Amino acid sequence: MLYYNISMRSRGIQDFTVILCCKNAASTIKLCIESIRRAGAQNLIIIDGWSTDETQEILKSLNEKFHLGAQRGLSYDCQIGIDLCATEYAFFVDADHVIPIDFFSEMFLAYQSQGCDFLQSKLSIYKPKGAFNFGENEYYKHVHNIHWTKNMIGTSPSLFKVQNLKTGGEWEFYSPSANVIGDTSWAKRTHDKGAIFHVGGPIVKQIHAPSAISYFRKFKWYGQGDADFIIENPNKSLGMFFHLAFRYPVIYGVVMLRHLSYRGFLFVVFQGYTRLYHCVRRLVLKLLNFA
C-alpha cells in the first residue's frame, strides 16, 4: 500500500471513486472486488440490482457496503452511483472485471495524455477457454485495443469526470426517454453534445463464460438493444444495419483473416449475424405490437 500511495501521488492522480453496478454476479464479484482493493481504491460505491443469487451475501462477507438499485434498469443504477460520488473523477468497473495493480494510475496518465472526456480501457479475457473466449481475445487485440478515438463506446471499465455525468450535468448518464442498453443510448447522446471518447490505458481482464450458448444469449441481448436503439434513433437505422451486417462480419472478419485468427473470425461473424437476426426480429415484433 505504501508503494501504491507514492506511485499514485507521483503520477498526479486525484482522489477518485469506483462505481460498481452488479446483479447476480456471485461467480465473479469476489475476484473483481479483490482486484479493485488490491489496486488501491479507497472509495468504492456498489449498486446491487436486487440480486437473487449469493451476490449480496458475498458482499457482506467481504465487509463491503452496498446500495440497492431502484429496479429501473442498469443505466439508472449507474446514475445512482454517479450521483453518490463526492470525488472529481470516477471509474466504472463491471462485476466481471479483474483489474491490474496499476490500473488507476495508468488510466489517469492515458486520460491526461489523450485529452479525452471519457476513456475506456483496453480489454482481454481472463483465463480464456474455448473457441469463443479465444476469438473474443483476438477481436480485442486486433480491433478494440488498437483504436483510440471512437464515436460510440462501452462504459466500462472507464474513467471520467464525475460532474459531467451527474444528474443535470452536460452528459447526464440516465435518460428517462431511453429504452436502450445504457451505454449505447448514452454514448450517442453524449457524442452528439461533443464528448470525445478514447480507448487506451492498461488491459483489463473480463471473466466470460466460454460456451457457445452463453455467447448466443449475450449477442441476442445486444441485438435486442440494437433494435431499441433504432426505435429511439430512427435516423441511425442504416448505420446500425451497416454495423451489424457489414462491419462486424465482413470488415472485422477480413481483419481477423489477415492475422490468421480463425477463432476471431468465428467470433465477429457469429456476433454480427446473431445480433442482426435478433435486431430485425425485435423490430418486426414491435411493428406487430408483439414485443
- Residue 277 burial (10 A CB sphere; 0-12, 13-18, 19+): middle
Q: Average the pLDDT over 264-291 and give the result.
A: 93
Average pLDDT on 105-132 reads 94
Name which of 9, 124, 25 is nearest 74 in CA terms. 25
Cα(200)–Cα(111) distance, rounded to whole angstroms?
Answer: 8
pLDDT of residue 289 exceeding 50, the answer is: yes
pLDDT digits (tens, 9 = 90+) for 209-254: 999 999 999 999 999 999 999 998 899 899 999 999 999 999 999 9
Global pTM value: 0.89
Looking at the structure, do residues 283 and 186 belong to the same domain, yes or no? no
- Domain around 287: 211-291
**Strand ranges (DSSP E) for the chain?**
16-22, 43-48, 67-68, 89-92, 97-98, 118-125, 149-150, 158-161, 197-206
> Where among 175, 208, 241 does a domain terminate?
208
Q: How does residue 14 score in pLDDT terms, banded at 50, 70 and 90?
A: low
pLDDT of residue 1: 37
Q: What CATH number should be reported for the domain holding residue 89?
A: 3.90.550.10
**Average of per-residue pLDDT values in the chain:** 91
Are 226 and 193 in the same domain? no
Number of domains in the chain: 2
Are 199 and 228 members of one domain? no
